[in-house]
């Protein structure tokens, strides 16, 4: 790995403190910018916070972050927040961005991050406790969170994992894998689909809509719920594998030779 690349904090806002029943919580918000020299992809390693990645111009990564930390006093909470930041290093051609934790990590802390990333980059986002949203024409999107929902809008390869939360996908990917241990999975496939798609949830319904022709064999498995295909019987070289242990499964498509329906983001009404 190359040495740390500098992080620029511009016009940082002063920390504010909130009084809680068991102490104080300090918050601090700041713009962030990262050096992109030599990088062609990004991996974000967060803790206890939301990650949002959107497509931006080539040659620059910029956004905002909000840190928080709790402590017994306002002064101690502010001091913990002051130790936090985002460290970065170049691993091959991947810019690895990692949350710098306070020296005393026994009490609660975390950070949310919103970044604009070049659309030509691969995006890998990982947080231990928080939601993740990625929107853009990225060639590959990898998402993992231990507790939070995932929203993806991208046409590239998509891999999304959460241990507790729903997953919403919109795009024309021909290679996707969406998995949650507890939550609904909704996928809207734009245009014709003849690729490889997999959906897994241990507790929740699965809803897949293809706005064009679903040229794929469809496998549906549920131990407690209905299974339904609305539209012509799917057939083709592709494969769609859908599984839930507790919930219904529904697939909709318009079939070959019919005009595709306009796709609407499944998450639009919840934001």
Write down the domain spans for the chain: 1-121, 149-258
Cβ(179)–Cβ(160) below 8 Å: yes
Cβ(48)–Cβ(42) below 8 Å: no
- pTM confidence score: 0.87
pLDDT at 13 over 70: no
Tens digit of pLDDT for each residue in 27-78?
999 999 999 999 999 999 999 999 999 999 998 899 999 999 999 999 999 9
Sort residue 79 into left (φ over 0), alpha (ψ -120 to 50) or beta: alpha
Percent of the chain with pLDDT over 90: 77
CA distance 118 to 138: 8
CA distance 215 to 11: 52
Q: Which of 97-106, 191-200, 253-262 has the highest mean pLDDT?
A: 191-200
What burial class does residue 268 get, using C-beta atoms within 10 Å of its C-beta: 0-12 exposed, 13-18 middle, 19+ buried? exposed
Q: Could you tell me the two tokens for 114?
A: 């919103």
Distance spanning both ends of the chain, measured CA to CA = 38
């Amino acid at each position: 790995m190359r040495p740390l690349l500098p992080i620029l904090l511009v016009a940082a806002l002063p920390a504010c403190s909130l009084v809680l029943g068991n102490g104080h919580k300090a918050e601090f918000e700041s713009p962030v910018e990262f050096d992109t020299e030599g990088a062609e992809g990004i991996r974000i390693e967060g803790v206890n916070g939301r990650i949002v990645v959107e497509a931006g111009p080539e040659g620059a990564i910029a956004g905002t972050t909000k840190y928080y930390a709790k402590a017994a006093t306002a002064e101690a909470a502010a001091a913990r927040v002051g130790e936090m930041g985002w460290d970065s290093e170049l691993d091959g051609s991947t810019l690895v961005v990692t949350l710098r934790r306070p020296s005393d990590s026994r009490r609660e802390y975390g950070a949310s991050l919103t970044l604009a990333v070049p659309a030509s980059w691969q995006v890998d986002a990982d947080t231990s406790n928080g939601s993740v949203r990625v929107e853009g024409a990225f060639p590959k999107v990898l998402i993992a969170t231990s507790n939070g929902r995932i929203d993806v809008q991208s046409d590239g390869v998509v891999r999304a994992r959460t241990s507790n939360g729903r997953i919403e996908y919109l795009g024309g990917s021909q290679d996707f894998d969406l998995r949650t241990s507890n939550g609904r999975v909704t996928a809207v496939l734009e245009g014709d689909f003849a690729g490889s798609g997999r959906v897994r949830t241990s507790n929740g319904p699965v809803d897949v809509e293809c706005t064009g022709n679903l040229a794929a064999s469809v496998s549906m498995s549920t131990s407690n719920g209905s299974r339904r295909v609305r539209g012509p019987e799917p057939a083709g070289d592709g494969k769609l594998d859908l599984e839930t242990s507790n919930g219904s499964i529904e697939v909709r498509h318009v079939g070959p030779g019919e005009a595709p329906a306009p796709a609407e983001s499944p998450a639009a009404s919840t934001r």
